[in-house]
């Protein structure tokens, strides 16, 4: 799917996108309504009890930590916290539903009316055909460095509910539902506390959607509410997409896209869907309201044909639990417990470490990176922050990308990186040597000092030793010395090369240069 196609479409149609993001509260030790432990995987049906199995006579009792986490999530995203709230029952029949109703929230969600600001730069900017937009939103402003814009995505609500069980389908293609002959149902996950966040339809491009999801993930990670692991399903994103001709104020028919297992899939699926819907409208047909499934292999969405009538969830207030009536002072005290959020962290990095905004954003936006950076800078010293940043955003990032691994997987530790930076700065090794050392320490896990020792890489900075080498070189090349002194200053390069050969490449360039100039005169 060429980006040109998308951009061509977006010149004629406006895309209206909203996201629904489900996040498991993996910070909780137990399930939402019972004391079974929350974890991923494990032998099927071994983390269950009468409550989360929906046995006859079992009753739900809400997990206070999960409620608190949800309120914190709302506070972290500028939401209003409902002082009066309750759970509702949402009815539908499905094999992974232990009670055939889900305990969720309806018209009294814990959090509502928040927002997240998203910045788009780079290629993603091109997707935004009209920076003005026909929906009210904050911005846009050009991002300080380079071209880009900022947009505010409203959060309609965040509510709390319970996750379903899991099914494994047998007999169909790739474990998919269609063509399956039978299925196995595992209720280990059933009852896990789940936050559902719904955005306002403020998103206009696939890239904005991706950035929003990434930003939200970084906020959740900074908060500590979830491990946000999209492969394991602790964070799941669905997108609602519709298009309308530019200038129109009526909403088009929306489709819901599911099965988005990565932020890239989120971007690509929305892109595909926008183009598909535009083509449908261009051909004079109507877009049907349906759920569509993203096929990452075939890179297309397909409709889930179903016999199901439109959902009638028959919501009513959950009679097995009493309502919530929060003390406003208590809610305020929760706000004080919020840890530092990514935007605040970014601003602090600019102020405290003197980083450029782009670098600060890159580090602050990824919680694990931010922690690694602060620890490394703490050991290396504030004055070496910029070098630390360069290594992290340069070699370290490249390494992660090449290996396809996470920061927690690599053998490089903050202490090791700090030591490496010190070795360069204190003249132990050259920048080029350092790259080799980095590669080796990433592979072996050996500290850089040891590697430098073993390989005899230590840079020679001792002035006397260098002068001795320079002396030998000058003695060996009297003709060039004479030429240099006669005015051929460009020969300095020749002499530097010779001294480096003499010192087996380990001469500290700065010291060599100074010594040469001194001794050449």
CB of 64 to other proteins, least distance (A): 4
Shortest distance, position 43 Cβ to other proteins, whole Å: 7
Q: 519, exposed or middle or buried, with CB in 10 Å at 0-12, 13-18, 19+?
A: middle
Identify which of residues 166 and 357 has a Cβ nearer to other proteins in the complex: 166
237 backbone φψ class: left, alpha, beta (φ>0; ψ -120 to 50)? beta
Closer of 48 and 392 to other proteins (Cβ): 48
Contact indicator for 7, 272 with CB cutoff of 8 Å: no
Instruction: Give min distance, CB of 196 to other proteins, in A.
Output: 11
Compute, in degrees rounded to 10, the torsion defined by CA atoms 111, 113, 114, 116: 130
C-beta of 58 vs 230, nearer to other proteins: 58
Helix axes 492-502 and 463-476, enclosed angle (nearest 10): 120
Q: 25 or 219: whose CB is closer to other proteins?
A: 25
Nearer to other proteins, 65 or 350 (CB): 65
Smallest distance, Å, CB 315 to other proteins? 8
Closest contact distance (angstroms) between CB of 110 and other proteins is 13
| Residue 177 preceded by cis peptide, ω within 30 | no
Q: Which is nearer to other proteins, 167 or 422 (CB)?
A: 167
CB of 92 to other proteins, least distance (A): 6
Burial of residue 80 (number of CB atoms within 10 Å: 0-12, 13-18, 19+): middle
CA 70 centroid distance within chain: 20
Nearer to other proteins, 326 or 494 (CB): 326
* Closest to 241 (Cα-Cα) out of 268, 202, 200, 274: 274
Strands 84-85 and 300-303: unpaired
Which residue lies nearer to other proteins by CB, 35 or 505?
A: 35
Nearer to other proteins, 78 or 96 (CB): 96
**Least distance in angstroms from the C-beta of 297 to other proteins:** 19
Rounded least distance, CB 238 to other proteins, Å: 10
Q: How far is CA 179 from CA 44, 96, 165, 257, in A?
A: 23, 19, 21, 21
Per-residue HEC secondary structure of 409-442 comes to HCCCCHHHHHHHHHHHHCCCCCHHHHHHHHHHHH
Closest CB 455 distance from other proteins, rounded Å: 51
Q: How far is the CB of 415 from other proteins (least distance, A)?
A: 34
Nearer CB in complex with other proteins: 196/268: 196
Residues 275, 281, 283, 286, CA torsion sign: positive
Burial of 456 (0-12, 13-18, 19+ CB in 10 A): exposed
Give the bridge partners for 295, in sequence order: 300
CA distances from 51 to 47, 102, 167, 378 (A): 11, 12, 19, 48
- CA–CA gap between residue 424 and residue 434 (Å, rounded): 7
Look at residues 77, 98, 309 and name the one whose alpha carbon lies nearest to residue 186.
98
Q: Is 196 left (phi over 0), alpha (psi -120 to 50) or beta?
A: beta
Closest approach of other proteins to the CB of residue 334, in Å: 14
- Nearer to other proteins by Cβ, of 48 and 355: the residue is 48
């Amino acid at each position: 799917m060429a980006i040109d196609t998308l951009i061509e479409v977006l010149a004629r149609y406006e895309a209206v996108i909203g996201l629904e993001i489900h996040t498991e509260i993996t910070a909780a030790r137990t399930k939402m309504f019972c004391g079974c432990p929350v974890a991923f995987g494990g032998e099927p049906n071994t983390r269950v009890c009468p409550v989360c199995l929906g046995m006859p006579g079992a009753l739900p009792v809400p997990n206070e930590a999960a409620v608190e986490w949800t309120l914190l999530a709302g506070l972290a995203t500028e939401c209003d916290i409902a002082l009066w709230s309750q759970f509702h029952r949402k009815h539908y029949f499905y094999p992974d539903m232990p009670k055939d109703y889900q305990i969720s929230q309806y018209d009294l969600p814990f959090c509502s009316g928040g927002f997240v600001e998203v910045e788009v730069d780079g290629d993603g900017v091109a997707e935004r055909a009209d920076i003005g937009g026909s929906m009210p939103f904050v911005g846009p402003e050009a991002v300080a460095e380079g071209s880009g814009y900022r947009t505010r995505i409203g959060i309609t609500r965040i509510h709390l509910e319970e996750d379903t069980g899991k099914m494994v389908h047998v007999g169909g293609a790739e474990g998919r539902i269609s063509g399956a002959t039978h299925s196995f149902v595992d209720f280990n996950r059933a009852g896990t506390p789940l936050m559902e966040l719904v955005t306002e339809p403020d998103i206009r491009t696939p890239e904005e959607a991706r950035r929003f999801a990434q930003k939200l993930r970084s906020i959740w990670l900074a908060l500590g509410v979830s491990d946000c692991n999209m492969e394991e399903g602790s964070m799941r994103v669905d997108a609602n997409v519709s298009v309308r001709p530019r200038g129109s104020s009526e909403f088009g028919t929306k489709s819901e896209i599911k099965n988005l297992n990565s932020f890239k899939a989120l971007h690509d699926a929305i892109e595909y869907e926008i183009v598909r819907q535009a083509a449908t409208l261009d051909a004079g047909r109507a877009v049907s309201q349906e759920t569509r499934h993203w096929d990452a292999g075939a890179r297309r969405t397909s409709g889930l044909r179903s016999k199901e009538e439109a959902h009638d969830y028959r919501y009513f207030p959950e009679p097995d639990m009493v309502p919530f009536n929060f003390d406003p002072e208590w809610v305020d005290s929760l706000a004080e417990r919020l840890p530092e959020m990514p935007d605040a962290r970014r601003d602090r990095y600019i102020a405290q470490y003197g980083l450029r905004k782009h670098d600060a954003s890159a580090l602050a936006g990824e919680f694990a990176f931010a922690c690694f950076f602060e620890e490394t800078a703490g050991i290396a010293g504030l004055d070496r922050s910029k070098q630390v940043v360069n290594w992290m955003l340069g070699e370290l990032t490249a390494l992660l990308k090449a290996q396809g691994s996470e920061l927690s997987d690599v053998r490089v530790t903050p202490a090791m990186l700090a030591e490496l930076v010190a070795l360069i700065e204190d003249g132990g090794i050259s920048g080029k040597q350092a790259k080799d050392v980095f590669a080796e320490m990433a592979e072996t896990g050996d500290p850089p000092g040891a590697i430098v020792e073993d390989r005899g890489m230590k840079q020679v900075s001792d002035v006397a030793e260098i002068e001795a080498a320079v002396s030998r070189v000058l003695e060996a090349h009297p003709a060039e010395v004479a030429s240099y002194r006669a005015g051929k200053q460009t020969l300095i390069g020749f002499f530097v090369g010779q001294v480096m050969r003499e010192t087996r490449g380990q001469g500290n360039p700065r010291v060599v240069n100074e010594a040469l100039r001194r001794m050449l005169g």
